[in-house]
Structure 1
């Protein structure tokens, strides 16, 4: 049986289910603690509350395409720093939290839940080569940076996260350079990537 509802106001009565579980939901909420409270409300005492949420920080640190592009340590360090600035800005603007998986044990504890287990699931988004079967991912990868920036409104997130206008201009230049390198490598079928992102599974009990 399926219901469509508000994550902040589930169409279920108090303490009516044995298990509540969400996956990549809390990362998109501007008030994740409120969403957790609602999961807690509908779960019976002694029942389980489980969240599977990402840690995108791992994605920026383990992006093997950086190696394939031949970036220097200084260039990679800048990209990592800018990625963290964007993540912080997104969170400050209430647009979600890409790294919320790491905070889930704390958020569950603050909600009054008893944390029972925390596990990390490793995940490779896509492994290239082979190229077959990854056409959609490669198409997304080759979106021009200016289209991505405009669609996601990254500039406001960058500045909200503590970045400067000068750094933003440098970020755009580096991203355009990386885009051109990747585009040529994909067309020549020399592009290699195993983009990795960890997901954190947090299991708690309602007491």
Structure 2
């Protein structure tokens, strides 16, 4: 990620705010978000949960799969390789800019994957279209998560599977020394920067209330890549200061300690993610 200095995120022109994902096409720095999606996708905890979802949903050649909220198509491509040659994966996203990037990356791969624009809460597909429907890092930004899950179930065939991989933003940690300051900033971020900051912990109940059966849950602690995600932590500190949750002096301390820990290769931050999968009732 482009930086004025590799150890000084407080002067970094890169600005990562998760709230921007709600209307990413309006962001001036879409390329920064594309890069952070690549970085996040490579993290070990996320990859473990992706594999768990694939195993639980029994992804195999010949299946039809919906990748809802596909972003730049990273998982769409992986799934297409698994269902090839006779299956098909459809990547859906609301962002036209993300879809352009997804199509660019897939253009030379000759995989059974297509992309289209659409609303996760009103899916543009007939009922019982897919063998498997999945979403990842989408539900924190939706107005009505239950409606979105209901739609995923609707477009999935009886006996098919639905899976989600989602975070719980109140589980974010960072190893700064002022515990009170950390709590103020992180709680503000959880409560104000996404519509559904607790969605991770709510998924098992949501799956059962929507009628899915054989619901399975797996969790993993995702360790952030320090350099790539330090702009996110700087940004949430600035947002807390702008909303008078912390003082200007506290913001200075927040940014300075991030800079020092990053320069010393000691910055450590995590978030908990949850994979939940369920089966659509037959009959």
TM-score normalised over the length of structure 2: 0.52
Deviations 1:109-147 (A, max 9, x none): 1212224210002221115xxxxxx3x44455555954x
CA contact (8 A) 2:207 2:215 kept: no
For 2:253 and 2:116, locate their aligned partners in 1 and report how far apart those are by CA, in whole Å. Answer: 46
- Calculate the aligned-residue CA RMSD, in Å: 2.6
Shift of 1:49: 0.7
1:130 is matched with none
For each residue in 1:53-101, what CA deviation from the matched residue of structure 2 results, as whole angstroms up to 9, or x when unmatched?
A: 01222213xx2x32xxxx2xxx3145325523542345xxxx4212311
Asked if residue 107 in structure 1 is aligned to residue 206 in structure 2, the reply is yes
Deviation beyond 6 Å, 4+ runs, structure 1: none
Partner residue in 1 for 2:190: 87
Task: Tell me, in whole angstroms, the C-alpha distance in 2 between the residues paired with 1:2 and 1:200.
Answer: 26
* Mapping of residues 136-155 of structure 1, within 5 Å: 136-141=228-233, 145-146=237-238, 148=239, 155=243
Q: 1:109 to 1:143 in 2, by over 3 A?
A: closer
- TM-score using structure 1 length: 0.69
Q: Distance in 2 between matches of 1:55 and 1:36?
A: 17
Counterpart selection for 1:119 from 218, 221, 236? 218
Asked if 2 retains the 8 angstrom alpha-carbon contact of 1:109 and 1:115, the reply is no
Mark the runs of 5 or more structure 1 residues left unpaired by the alignment. Answer: 128-133, 156-164
Q: Which residue of 2 aligns with 1:162?
A: none
- Cα pair distance change 1:125/1:46, threshold 3 Å: same
Q: CA separation of 1:106/1:81 partners in 2, compared to 1, >3 Å: closer, same or farther?
A: farther
User: Matched residues in 2 for 1:180 and 1:35: separation?
Assistant: 41
User: Following the alignment from structure 2 to structure 1, what is the Cα–Cα distance between the partners of residues 137 and 164?
Assistant: 8
Residue 41 of structure 1 aligns with which residue? 154
Change in 2 beyond 3 A, CA 1:81/1:106: farther
Which of 105, 127, 144 is 1:14 aligned to? 127
Is 1:199 aligned to residue 248 of structure 2?
no
- The size of the alignment, in residue pairs, is 168
Determine whether 1:181 maps to 2:239.
Answer: no
> Judging changes above 3 Å, is the alpha-carbon distance between structure 1 residues 140 and 37 closer, same or farther for their aligned structure 2 residues?
closer
Structure 2: gaps of 5 or more residues: 1-113
